[in-house]
Copies of this chain bind each other. A is one copy, B any other.
């Protein structure tokens, strides 16, 4: 069987199965492990705090194209996707190591721009770049590992598996602008200056919701994920990990107003499945969400409910309660399309 037939999630299940013996409770490392393979970041009990680690690859012509994303922004985004994973656990970001593969004929000034992009976001997020690796490679590939922690040692953090039936589902900010920005670049769409600026910013300079993630954790939220693959796909990850279903009112989804104006009826699809918004999707009681909404600087929107039941997946409805069918799914590697 080929990896393309197994799919990304089948592959992760296989990896988790093979690597399971390394996490045995009888070992020093295993006995302190809190979250292993399958969440946004791994977590273990440190001496004074919960330690977090996450890694994401950012590969030319898989995750980005240099035709669309300039070098500086490649660096920024490669770090952003990792910081967002720490945000989705409610963590503080501390250290990062950067593994970089480059073709030999890469211009040195391009590499400098790339690292300046990494550095700019690192400074903004309090992350020290402490090491890494450089290597020849057939295309540009970054693998950034970010280390973080939680503020205390009480072992609470935001996880994909923390949702409960009856929880409300909420999301920070607006959705759809990042994928709308990608479409604008890739299809060379022309918009007015304000729309162009907003979509460019959303796609090229995503800002991980680190402060918001910590606030969620402090306020007692237990389930969260960052929206990288798309709202529906990422909510599906929460459903699967929490063994619950989700009902989403698509009319409540906070579609970015600029996207709504520029993409008309396709705007909702971009918000539901476009991905790369790096907003936080979380579940909690109505009371907790109401308190958080007042405390957060960014908008918080309730979009549905976590439900028990056999569906174990995401069901979409419109305002009249009619079932809503999504034209396409979220991002998954390896699947043939």
Binding site for B on A (CB under 8 A): 1-6, 8, 11-12, 14-15, 18-19, 21-23, 27-30, 33, 35-39, 41-42, 44, 46-49, 53-57, 59, 61-63, 94-95, 97-109, 111-112, 115-116, 118-119, 122-123, 126-139, 141, 143, 145, 147, 333-334, 336
Q: Which residues of B contact A130 (CB under 8 A)?
A: 23, 33, 35-37, 42, 44, 53
Q: What is the CB-to-nearest-CB distance from A58 to chain B, in angstroms, rounded to a whole number?
A: 9
Q: Are B132 and A15 in contact (CB-based, < 8 A)?
A: yes
Q: What residue in chain B is nearest A333 (Cβ atoms)?
A: B136
Q: Which residues of B contact A133 (CB under 8 A)?
A: 55-57, 143
Q: What residue in chain B is nearest A31 (Cβ atoms)?
A: B128
CA of A48 to CA of B47, assembled, Å: 6
Given the interface pairs A47-B48, A138-B138, A143-B143, the reply to whether A131 lies near B3 with Cβ below 8 Å is no
Q: Are B59 and A123 in contact (CB-based, < 8 A)?
A: no
Q: Are B48 and A105 in contact (CB-based, < 8 A)?
A: no
Given the interface pairs A118-B19, A145-B53, A333-B134, the reply to whether A46 lies near B47 with Cβ below 8 Å is yes
CA of A57 to CA of B100, assembled, Å: 8
Q: What is the CB-to-nearest-CB distance from A79 to chain B, in angstroms, rounded to a whole number?
A: 10
Q: Which residues of B contact A97 (CB under 8 A)?
A: 42, 53-55, 145
Q: What residue in chain B is nearest A81 (Cβ atoms)?
A: B133
Q: Which residues of B contact A55 (CB under 8 A)?
A: 97-99, 131-133, 143, 145
Q: Which residues of B contact A1 (CB under 8 A)?
A: 107-109
Q: Are A128 and B29 in contact (CB-based, < 8 A)?
A: yes
Determine which residue in A1, A15, A109 has the highest number of CB atoms from chain B within 10 A of its CB, and name it: A15
Q: What is the CB-to-nearest-CB distance from A269 to chain B, in angstroms, rounded to a whole number?
A: 23
Given the interface pairs A55-B133, A59-B101, A336-B104, the reply to whether A128 lies near B33 with Cβ below 8 Å is yes
Beyond A23-B128, A138-B138, 4 extra complex contacts between A and B, CB < 8 Å: A3-B104, A3-B107, A18-B119, A133-B143
